[in-house]
Amino acid sequence: MRDHLANMLNAAKASFDEWARENARFCDLKRARFDLPGGYPYGERHMQSIYLLRYYAAYLAETCMLFEELSENGLQFPVITSFGCGSLLDAKAAQYVFDGVYRYRGYDIHDWHLKGVALGDGCEFWQGDLFLARDFPDTTNVFHFPRSVGDLGERMNELSGSLLASRLHSDIIYVTATCRNDIEYDFEKLVAFGNLLTGYSLDIWIRRSGLDIVNFFGRNGRNGIAQKYSWFNAVNDAEAVSFCSGMVEKCEQSSYINCPLPDCREYVSRWPTLTLGELSYVALKYKRD
Ligand X SMILES: C[S@@+](CC[C@H](N)C(=O)[O-])C[C@H]1O[C@@H](n2cnc3c(N)ncnc32)[C@H](O)[C@@H]1O
What are the residues binding ligand X (CB under 6 A)?
Answer: 42, 55, 59, 84-87, 89, 107-110, 129-131, 146-148, 151-152
Distances (CA, A) of 96 to 63, 101, 214, 285: 10, 9, 22, 22
CB of 138 to ligand X, least distance (A): 20
Closer residue to ligand X (CB): 152 or 248: 152
CB of 42 to ligand X, least distance (A): 4
Closer residue to ligand X (CB): 33 or 169: 33
CB of 61 to ligand X, least distance (A): 12
Closer residue to ligand X (CB): 180 or 265: 180
Closer residue to ligand X (CB): 50 or 89: 89
CB of 62 to ligand X, least distance (A): 9
Closer residue to ligand X (CB): 85 or 163: 85
CB of 148 to ligand X, least distance (A): 4
